[in-house]
Amino acid sequence: MGRTSDAKERLINVATCLIWEQNYSSVSVDKICKGAGVNKGSFYHFFTSKEALAIEAVDHNWQAAKERLFGPAFKKDVPPLERFNRFFKGFYRVQSEMKEKCGCVAGCPFGNLGSEVGLEDTALRKKVQEIFAELRGFYEEALCDALEQGFVKDIDPPVVAKTLGAFSSGLLLQAKVFDDVEVLRLLSLGMARLIGVEEKDGRLVTSVCCKGPGSEASE
């Protein structure tokens, strides 16, 4: 076994990958320990149960997603619609890389877990709910800025943000079911319709009637 000091981190990393690539119910403590090179005694030193590890693993995955995808895409100093354009590219890239690694479209790690545990696991479901709420926050802030700056009009940012979250989750499910990452190319077109702007070549663009100051940055 490796150094005890990094055993917990290895358990979290392995659990994160296995649960995303496979599913929560099929990933046993034994499988996680084997992948991490850690014995079960050490596992239970750090975690009271598989559920406890899964909660930390899904949070670890979300922190990584924010650092790699949502944070860079939705920077406050980036024009509002351009934030979505950056997100589209990163969204497709992450899923493409996962398909290359796993051999199939892995889908949304949070949606996969949340739908699998359903009402059976309150703690895990609550964690996924918190992640979805934070994810919607990125959308909502960009929509509020777009509305304030005149890039869009007549929208309710909280409602549209929830709709965008549901739409992106649905696309990920379709991509996973059909094992076709190209389904995700529809993300920009669908979001454009929901936000009320135009879409061109996979990018959101502002219609002439809604152009605000600095709108050229989003075209």
User: Buried b vs exposed e over 55-88: b needs ≥16 C-beta within 10 Å?
Assistant: bbbbeebbeebbeebbeebbeeebbbbbbbbbbb
Provide the pLDDT for residue 210: 52
**pLDDT-above-90 percentage for the chain:** 83
Lowest mean pLDDT: which of 49-53, 72-76, 185-189, 204-208?
204-208
Question: Which run of H or E residues covers position 204?
Answer: strand 203-205
What value does the mean pLDDT of the chain take?
A: 91
Q: Where are the domains of the chain?
A: 66-218
Tokens linked to 117:
């545990």
Provide the pLDDT for residue 212: 52
Q: Are 91 and 190 in contact (CB under 8 A)?
A: no
Provide the pLDDT for residue 102: 86
Provide the pLDDT for residue 218: 44
pTM of the model: 0.87
Provide the pLDDT for residue 2: 47
- Alpha-carbon span 115 to 30, nearest angstrom: 24
Task: Tell whether the model's pLDDT for residue 216 goes beyond 70.
Answer: no
Task: Tell whether the model's pLDDT for residue 16 goes beyond 60.
Answer: yes
Lowest mean pLDDT: which of 55-69, 176-190, 202-216?
202-216
Provide the pLDDT for residue 207: 64
- Alpha-carbon span 52 to 3, nearest angstrom: 22
Tens digit of each residue's pLDDT (9 = 90 or more) over 42-74: 999 999 999 999 999 999 999 999 999 999 999
Binned at pLDDT 50, 70 and 90, residue 211 comes out as low
Tokens linked to 161:
């943000």
Angle at 65 between CA 62 and CA 68, to 5 degrees: 150
Angle at 134 between CA 218 and CA 164, to 5 degrees: 50
Residue 201: what residue type?
A: D
Lowest mean pLDDT: which of 161-165, 193-197, 206-210?
206-210
pLDDT average, residue stretch 109-113: 92
Q: Domain 66-218: which CATH class?
A: mainly alpha
- Alpha-carbon span 103 to 50, nearest angstrom: 26
Tokens linked to 116:
């699998």
- Among 74, 91, 199, 202, residue whose Cα is nearest residue 146: 74
- Among 118, 140, 122, 29, residue whose Cα is nearest residue 74: 140
